[in-house]
Structure 1
Amino acid sequence: MRDPQTEAPAPPPPARAPADAPAARHSRAPLLLLIAVLLTAALAGVLWLDARERISATQQELARRLRDIETNASEARSVARQSQDALRDAQVKIGQLEARLAESQSQQLALEALYQELSRNRDEWQLAEIEQVLAIAQQQLQLSGNVRAGLLALQLAEARLARADRPQFLPVRRALARDIERLKALPAIDLAGMSMRIDGLVAAVDAMPLAFDERGERTGTANGAPKDAGASPERGFWSRLGSEVWSELRQLVVVRHVDKPEPPLLPPSQAYFLRENLRLRLLNARLSLLIRDEAGYREDLRAAQAWIRRYFDPRAKHTVDALAQLKQLSSTTLSFEMPMITESLEAVRGFKSRRERTPG
């Protein structure tokens, strides 16, 4: 063989050069095609493997998600069943509650009706009691003129209506307030104090000395003075005899002042009846005071003063005190127009009649 390195290549013939080039290109074309086919096949295989892996991963993901969906669906069905059960229980409970509510409403209506009835009865009882109290106070004012009792009755009725605090009682309360103001405007007379003072005078009748008793004491003292003087051992027989004769002569002639009459002589029995009659006069005066009979009251006090001045000792302390108290009692005025509480009574009765006409 020839060494290619030592042997120089022969120059190609100039005329055949263009024909060899297409032959070389034709010899390399299958090789390139094969290479391209192989590359395409490799690329396709790689793509197929990648797609297969992706499809497998996708299938796995889909399977996982389907499992998750099935799990969620089963849980949802379980929750739905529980919700349905809870809904049924709630509906049952709601039905029970509605039944209880209806029962409670019926009981409430019954209780309201009962309360209305009790309230109506209580108001009627209260108004009946107030009417009775006002009627008694009206009788006290008419018979004895007891203003204090009438005022207390009106204030009691107003306080009870105020505690009730019902707007329908306002007309009655206004009528009570007007009657209270009318009674408060009356002149204040302490009937109880005056009655107690008269009772004190009745009790002091026995302590007042009679004028006859006082005169007897003065006469006894005047007659006893010469006897005491005559009993003195220092005077002689003739002096005692002269004093006794002079005393007898003085008793034979009595000089009296006719401008001032002497108190009448009363035996013990008449003195007892005098004190009892004086007590009766004072008790009659107290009775006239309580029934506000001013004429009888003044007449009894005047008669009591006249008897005390005539039959009792005017200088004794008990007598002076009794006359002073009788003078003060006589200066009190009892006669004034007594107001009536008919407005309050009419308001209460009118309210009761309106309630009786209005049902419910």
Structure 2
Amino acid sequence: MEHNKQDPNQEVHSDNDVIESKTMSKPKSEAPSSQSDKKQSDSKASDTHPKNKSSWWVRLGILLCLIIAIAGIGISYLLYMELESQKVALQTQNQQTNAISDEVTKRLVAPTRRIAELEVQQKNDSLAYQKQNQLAKSHKQLQERVATLAQRSPNNWMASEAEYLVRMAGRKLWLENDPKTAASLLASADDRIEAMKDPSLLPIRRALANDLARTNSIKTTDVAGTIYAIDGLLHQLDNLSLNRAKAQSAADLSEQNVISDSLDDWQSNLAKTWHSVTDGFITIRKRTTDLEPLLAPDQQWYLVENIRNKLLQAQLALYQHDEVNYRQSIGFARTWVQQYFDLDNEKTQEAIAALDALMTLSIEQVTYQKFDSTRLLQQLITYGELVPAEEPQL
């Protein structure tokens, strides 16, 4: 068995034996070269075996790299296809989600609008409820006030009526400048206080008497009568005649220049003949009025309207108790009537006389500002009796 075993280096040894046998047979002079050849053969034999072994491992590594690369490419392709499918699915899902979202938004428009309307209605209902509560509270307070007044003396109603009459008298006096109506209202208020038959109310009657006396002492202006007088002038303006030069008619001239057949009238006939010849050259007339430019007949309408406007302004100033503007408007109207209308006409003279009378009107202003009885009547209504005045401190 030991002889059958082969040594891997057996060939090398056999070769070496052959080489050694050969070298032994050669002469000694060739010994150095044989030794060098032996070294070269040994080195070749030792290099051949490792090269074969390393090339096999390289091939195996390259094969494994190719297999791994192919597998990586396949796996990458599969991953890419998977990602593409997921991307398509995601886009489809997004489209479906957007479609669903749009549909939901469209369906929520009406409910949202209805919710907004309900919120507004709820707000209005809350405001109405608050207002209703306020009205209920005011109604309750009014009922309590009526019940309180009902428990008082019946004279309180008469005192309230007297206070109302005094307040109306103040309005007539200060707003409408009507002292006569104000005095009658104050007298009616005094009658109400007198009917109460309460001696403690004598200070109120004393104050009412003072107010009545001051109101009667106010000088009044007949506003209504003056307004009616101005209205009469407004109606007469269209009937006034303008101040024009009076030309002698041709018929009168022909009558004056008629020559008689009697010989005894030769002097008058000669004069008439002379006048008939000279009248065509020179005409002399005398005027006693101012030499103002005369208006054409078509301009009379503008003049009448201007005068009417001034008279209307005078009426407005009279209602406002503005004496300055009143007199100024009447003065303008009088100046235009006297300047542009015929002063010999009777209607013109009547209009000027009426304007002179209106100029003399004096508009009185009300200087009485407050009634003394107002404060006392308010005390009577509020407290049911007069509050005593505080005594001055010494």
TM-score range, shorter chain: 0.5 to 0.7
Matches within 5 A, 1:51-130: 120=152, 123-130=155-162
- Quote how far apart the aligned CAs of 1:178 are: 0.6
Q: 1 or 2 for the larger relative contact order (CA 8 Å, sep ≥6)?
A: 1
Structure 1 letter corresponding to 2:247: T
- Quote how far apart the aligned CAs of 1:179 are: 1.0
**Is 1:277 paired with 2:309?**
no
Aligned to 2:332: 303
**Is 1:208 paired with 2:237?**
no
Matches within 5 A, 1:18-29: none
Query: Pick from 372, 376, 382: which aligns with 1:353?
Result: 382
C-alpha distance 256-228 of structure 1, shift in aligned 2 (>3 A)? closer
Aligned to 1:225: 252
Equivalents in 1 of 2:298, 2:156: separation in Å?
Answer: 63
- Quote how far apart the aligned CAs of 1:242 are: 5.8
CA RMSD of aligned residues (A): 3.8
**Is 1:289 paired with 2:318?**
yes
Aligned to 1:191: 223
- Quote how far apart the aligned CAs of 1:233 are: 7.9
- Quote how far apart the aligned CAs of 1:315 are: 2.4
Structure 2 letter corresponding to 1:194: T
- Quote how far apart the aligned CAs of 1:128 are: 3.7
- Quote how far apart the aligned CAs of 1:151 are: 1.8
Q: What is the number of residues matched between the two proteins?
A: 237
C-alpha distance 167-220 of structure 1, shift in aligned 2 (>3 A)? farther
What are structure 1's unaligned runs of at least 5 residues?
A: 1-115
Query: Pick from 183, 187, 192: which aligns with 1:151?
Result: 183
Query: Pick from 187, 193, 209: which aligns with 1:177?
Result: 209
Equivalents in 2 of 1:119, 1:227: separation in Å?
Answer: 102
Cα deviation 1:17-43 (Å, max 9, x = unaligned): xxxxxxxxxxxxxxxxxxxxxxxxxxx
Q: Is the 8 A contact 1:144 1:292 kept in 2?
A: no
Equivalents in 2 of 1:227, 1:144: separation in Å?
Answer: 66
Q: Is the 8 A contact 1:141 1:338 kept in 2?
A: no
Query: Pick from 238, 243, 250: which aligns with 2:282?
Result: 250
Q: Which moved more, 1:298-307 or 1:265-274?
A: 265-274
- Quote how far apart the aligned CAs of 1:143 are: 3.2
Aligned to 1:141: 173
Equivalents in 2 of 1:176, 1:165: separation in Å?
Answer: 16
- Quote how far apart the aligned CAs of 1:328 are: 2.5
Equivalents in 1 of 2:297, 2:194: separation in Å?
Answer: 64
- Quote how far apart the aligned CAs of 1:181 are: 0.5
Q: Is the 8 A contact 1:281 1:303 kept in 2?
A: yes
- Give secondary structure in 1 for the equivalent of 2:204: helix
Equivalents in 1 of 2:159, 2:380: separation in Å?
Answer: 9
Structure 2 letter corresponding to 1:219: A
Equivalents in 1 of 2:377, 2:323: separation in Å?
Answer: 33
Aligned to 2:368: 339
Equivalents in 2 of 1:226, 1:287: separation in Å?
Answer: 52
- Give secondary structure in 2 for the equivalent of 1:138: helix
Q: So what's the TM-score if we normalise by structure 1?
A: 0.54
Structure 2 letter corresponding to 1:227: S
Equivalents in 2 of 1:126, 1:245: separation in Å?
Answer: 96
Equivalents in 2 of 1:245, 1:153: separation in Å?
Answer: 83
